[in-house]
Amino acid sequence: MGPCRQEITAGKGGGAEEPAKPLGPQPDRTEGAVVVTARAAAGRRGKTGAKAKPVAGAAPATEMPGLAARRAAARLLAAVVDARTSLDGLTDSEHGNPQFTALEPRDRSLVRAILAAALRHRLSIGALIDSRLDRPLPAKAGTLLHILHVAAAQILFLDIPDSAAVNLAVAHAGSDPRTRRFAGLVNAVLRALAARKERALPKVLATTRDAPDWFAERLIAAYGPETADQIMAAHRIEAPLDLTVRTDPGGWAQRLGGRLMPNGTVRLVQPGTPVPDLAGYAEGAWWVQDAAASLPARLLGAVDGLDVADLCAAPGGKTAQLANAGASVTAVDGSANRLRRLGVNLERLGLKAEIVRADVATWQPDRLFGAVLLDAPCSATGTLRRHPDVAWTKSPEDIAKLAAAQRRLLDAASSLVRPGGRLVFSNCSLNPEEGELLVADFLAARPDFRREPVGPAEFDGLDGLVDANGDLRTTPADWAAEDARWSGMDGFFASRLRRTG
C-alpha cells in the first residue's frame, strides 16, 4: 500500500546548520560562463580559466566538518530518485538510513533541509548544472550528479556560504573512488553556478516546471494548465503548519501568532519553535493537521453519540476530530507502529477510541456502523508540498495499482455501513483515478449506494472546494493568499455516499 503522509504530531523541521567556515579556496566570482567537460579532472581549467584547485590545507576528507552530512544527503537523494524510496522512511529517527541516523540532530536537520530544497527544485537545479557543462555527464555518473545536486541546493536555496558548499562537494567527490577524477569538474561547475546564481536562478525558475513530465501532464489534464502551474509553483514552497484545535480556534490563533483559516484551522508560518514546544501542545489543545485533511471527517455531519468506524485511521488526525465531536470511534489500521502513534496522540489529546489492528480488506466486526470513514492509502500526490519526494518515488503504474487497491478497500468499507448510514471515502491524491473516477466506478456497480452531494455552505470553509458532483476537491492552489507562505492546502478528495439498501 502507499505511504500515508498525514501528520498529527510534530512535523519534521528543516533549518540550516550554522554557517560553516570557509575551507580552502573561495568561490570564483567571475560572471562569465564556465563551461567544463566531463573529462575535466582536478587541476584543469574551465573556459574562463577558473582553475579547479584541490582543497588546500584541508584536513583529510573524512574529518572535514559537515562532510558526513553531505555524504548522507547525496546517499539519500540517490535512494529517493534512483531506488524510489520514501524520504519519510529514510529519515526516520529510529529506523532510518544508518548514514542518516548516525548524524547529530543538527546535521539531520541540515540533511532534511538540503533534500527538501534539492527535491523541490530538482529540474531547475538540473538545468543550471547542465548549463555549466558543454556535454552531458557519463550515463553512469549518478553519484557525481547527486554530489552536484546536493551542493547546488545549498548554494541556490540555503543559507550556507557558497565556499563551504563547494569545498565540501569537492572533498566529497575526491574521497569517493567513483567520483575522484571529477573533483575538478565539481569545483569548476559549482563555482560557476555560485557566481551566476543571482541572474541565472530567477530565469530558470520562471521557465522550468519542477515536476516529472508524467506528473505535470496529469495535473494539466485534470485541472487545466493554469491551475496545474499554480499547484506546481506551490510545491516549491514549504507548506505552513496547520493545527486543528479542540476549542476556541480564534483564541489559539491569537496566542500562537497564527491566522484563523475559513474552516477554523489555525495556520502558522515558520513558527521558529519545534512543534512540541509550542503553547498548547503538551496539554493537548490541538494537533497538527493540514486544513484540507480536516474536511473529510466533517462530511459525516453531526456525529455526537454515533458509532463511527474510522478505517485506515493512523496516525489519527481524523479519529481525534471524530472523538472530539462526541462520536464513539472504532479506529482501524493495519500497521502496529502507526497505531502506537495513534494511541500516543489520543492520550496527549485526552481523547478516546477503540483501537483495532486489522486489514480493512478482510475485517469483519460483529456489528454495522451508522457512519464509516475510509481515508484510503493513496499516491499522496496532494501532499507534495510537505513531502517533495513523492513526485520522484511514484510512477503512473503505482497510481493505477493504488487506485485498484483503494477500490477494493471501498467495497470492504461499504459492507460495514448500516442501511441508511453514511460512508465518506477520502484520500490525499490529486489524481482523478484515485478519486472522482474511482467513486464513479463504485456507484455504477452499487445501486445500494448513492452520492449525497456536499453543499458548499454546509460548514464554513467549503466555499470553492466542492465540485459539480458535490464531492470535495482541494488542491495546493486553493486559498491563494498574497504571501505564498500563507497559501494553499493539501490536495484532497472526498465523496459522501449514503447506503440506501
Ligand X SMILES: C[S@@+](CC[C@H](N)C(=O)[O-])C[C@H]1O[C@@H](n2cnc3c(N)ncnc32)[C@H](O)[C@@H]1O
Q: Residues at the annotated binding site for S-adenosyl-L-methionine?
A: 312-318, 333, 359, 375
Residues of this chain, 368-427, that bind ligand X according to CB under 6 A: 375, 377
Burial 132-170 (b: 16+ CB within 10 A, else e): bbeeebeeebbbbbbbbbbbbbbbbbbebbbbbbbbbbb
The only residue of 25, 66, 174, 315 in contact with ligand X, by rule CB under 6 A: 315
Cell of 315: 496516525
Q: Which amino acid is at 170?
A: V
162 is a site residue for ligand X (CB under 6 A): no
Please report whether residue 46 would count as binding ligand X according to CB under 6 A. no
Question: Does residue number 317 form part of the binding site for ligand X (CB under 6 A)?
Answer: yes
Q: Which of 360, 317, 325, 322 is closest to 342 using CA atoms?
A: 317
Q: Which of residues 8-27 bind ligand X (CB under 6 A)?
A: 8
Q: CB-wise, 2 or 24, nearer to ligand X?
A: 2
Q: The cell 457512519 sits on which residue?
A: 371
Indicate whether 290 belongs to the interface with ligand X (CB under 6 A): no
Pick from 121, 318, 385, 499: which binds ligand X (CB under 6 A)?
A: 318
CA distance 443 to 447: 7
**1, 38, 41, 344: residue in contact with ligand X (rule CB under 6 A):** 1
The amino acid sitting at 326 is G
CA 87/CA 120 separation, integer angstroms:
13
Number of Cβ within a 10 Å radius of residue 434: 28
Cβ 372 to ligand X, closest distance in Å? Answer: 12
Q: Which CB, 24 or 377, lies closer to ligand X?
A: 377
With contacts defined by CB under 6 A, name the span among 138-146, 359-367, 450-458, 492-500 that binds ligand X: 359-367
DSSP assignment of 150-190, as one string?
A: HHHHHHHHSSS-HHHHHHHHHHHHHHSTTTGGGHHHHHHHH
- Which of residues 156, 360, 413, 489 is near ligand X by CB under 6 A? 360
Check if the beta carbon of residue 168 is closer than 8 Å to that of residue 62. Answer: no
Q: Which span (156-164, 274-282, 309-317, 459-467) binds ligand X, by CB under 6 A?
A: 309-317
Which is it for strands 492-499 and 472-474: parallel, antiparallel or unpaired?
Answer: antiparallel
The three-state DSSP-derived secondary structure of 270-312 is: CCCCCHHHCCCCCCCCEEECCCHHHHHHHCCCCCCCCEEEEEC
Of 20 and 403, CB closest to ligand X: 403
- Of 387, 394, 405, nearest to 120 by C-alpha is 387
CB of 276 to ligand X, least distance (A): 18
Q: Which of 359, 411, 448, 463 binds ligand X (CB under 6 A)?
A: 359
* Distance in angstroms (rounded) separating the CA atoms of residues 432 and 437: 6
The yes-or-no answer on residue 378 being catalytic is no
CB 430 within 8 A of CB 382: yes
Figure out which of the listed residues 59, 221, 282, 361 binds ligand X, where binding follows CB under 6 A.
Answer: 361
Residues 6 or more apart in contact with residue 63 via CB below 8 angstroms:
none
CB 320 to ligand X: min, Å? 8
For residue 315, cis peptide bond before it (omega within 30 degrees of 0): yes
User: Out of 37, 335, 395, 469, which residue is the one contacting ligand X (CB under 6 A)?
Assistant: 335
Q: Which stretch binds ligand X (CB under 6 A): 45-53, 67-75, 357-365, 387-395?
A: 357-365
Answer yes or no whether residue 469 interacts with ligand X by CB under 6 A: no
| Segment contacting ligand X by CB under 6 A, of 190-198, 201-209, 312-320, 465-473 | 312-320
The stretch among 85-93, 170-178, 244-252, 332-340 that binds ligand X (CB under 6 A) is 332-340
CB of 293 to ligand X, least distance (A): 6
Contact indicator for 238, 116 with CB cutoff of 8 Å: yes
Span near ligand X by CB under 6 A; candidates 272-280, 334-342, 433-441, 468-476: 334-342
Catalytic: which of 129, 360, 428, 494? 428
The contact pattern for ligand X, residues 165-204, with x = CB under 6 A and - = no contact, is: ----------------------------------------
Which residues lie closer than 8 Å to 414 by C-beta, 6 or more apart? Answer: 372, 423, 442, 446, 449, 497, 499
Interface with ligand X, residue 316, by CB under 6 A: yes
Q: How far is the CB of 376 from ligand X (least distance, A)?
A: 7
User: 207 to each of 127, 128, 315, 418, how far by Cα in Å?
Assistant: 10, 12, 39, 53
Query: How many binding residues for ligand X (CB under 6 A)?
Result: 20
Minimum CB distance to ligand X smaller for 182 or for 493: 493
CA 276 to the chain's CA centroid: 20
Nearest to ligand X of 66, 377 (CB atom): 377
Give yes or no for a contact between 389 and 80, defined as CB atoms under 8 angstroms apart: yes
Instruction: Choose between 103 and 413: whose C-beta lies nearer to ligand X.
Output: 413
The residues that are catalytic are 428
Applying CB under 6 A, the residues found at the interface with ligand X are: 1, 4, 6, 8, 312-318, 333-335, 338, 359-361, 375, 377
